[in-house]
Amino acid sequence: MYSEVIVTALAHVRNGVAPRDLWAALRSGFSAAGPGTRITIVVDAIRNDGPAELESTLRLIEAADAPIVGVGLTGIEDTWPTEDFAFIRREADRLGIGVEVHAGEMGPPASIAASIDVLGADRIGHGVAAIDDSALLERLVRDRVPLDVCPTSNVQIGLFPSLEAHPVARFWEAGVNMTISSDDPWLMGARLTDELRSVVRLAGLSRADLAELQRRAAQSAFLASAERLALEAHIDAWAAAGSD
């Protein structure tokens, strides 16, 4: 019913695609989902290219004719000082959009804390390094910080030797406010449905558990509160409609 997709828009523009054509192409593609499905965009900047890349991305967002709900910071952690990107929160607030920062993927647990404390991230992409820091894990659980976890992607890039070795089940047992994401479905060979099936198996989720997992995703979405509540109501109805 609702998806937020990450688009590295500036890369396409620098490859010669006019911004208006980029947004038009995305809107056209989203329309293929049909009625009853809404798709919005989180435009990300690659931190490897420095704060100027983020500044240019924010200018692109500001001028865009597209359903943009967030700005992201992705790429290799610690390639630039976190403080150099601190303006992301101020500018996102000015534009009325959310902030998602990829951290604790290839970087250390400290990169997750810095993304929250310095960058003001609403959500953390990946965050799997938190499994190695019990104090940070307790903080994430206590503060209900959303982690967008992508198990197949983490295995594909070599962070874990297998899905069975991935910490997603331990995150669930610890009460982490996680959502499940598909990262790059074409590149990683796993769609969101595949990821959810894997997590159901790995964590032994019941139908009620799966509904709760998706309820957390709805609560973490970059949407107005009324729209989030409507999504939750649909999830509740699905949970009540059947059994395992």
Whether the pLDDT of residue 242 is over 70: the answer is yes
Residue that the structure tokens 């396409």 belong to:
12
Nearest CA to 49 among 14, 21, 23, 19?
14
Calpha distance 47→207 (Å, rounded): 38
pLDDT at 35: 87
Average pLDDT of the chain to the nearest whole number: 95
Ranges assigned E (strand) in 19-153: 38-46, 68-74, 98-103, 123-126, 147-149
**How far is residue 30 from each of residues 23, 41, 227, measured CA to CA in Å?**
11, 10, 19
Cβ–Cβ < 8 Å for 213, 197 = no
Q: What's the token pair of residue 42?
A: 């989180």
Calpha distance 117→91 (Å, rounded): 16
pLDDT in tens, 134-151: 999 999 999 999 999 999
Name the catalytic one among 62, 105, 164, 232. Answer: 105
Ranges assigned E (strand) in the chain: 2-7, 38-46, 68-74, 98-103, 123-126, 147-149, 178-180
How many C-beta neighbours within 10 Å does residue 241 have?
Answer: 8
Task: Provide the residue type at 47 as one letter.
Answer: R
Q: Does residue 232 have an active-site annotation?
A: no
| Predicted structure pTM score | 0.94
pLDDT in tens, 71-101: 999 998 889 999 999 999 999 999 999 999 9
Calpha distance 86→92 (Å, rounded): 11
The residue-averaged pLDDT of 42-46 equals: 97
pLDDT at 244: 59
pLDDT at 152: 95
Calpha distance 188→39 (Å, rounded): 21
How many C-beta neighbours within 10 Å does residue 89 have?
Answer: 17
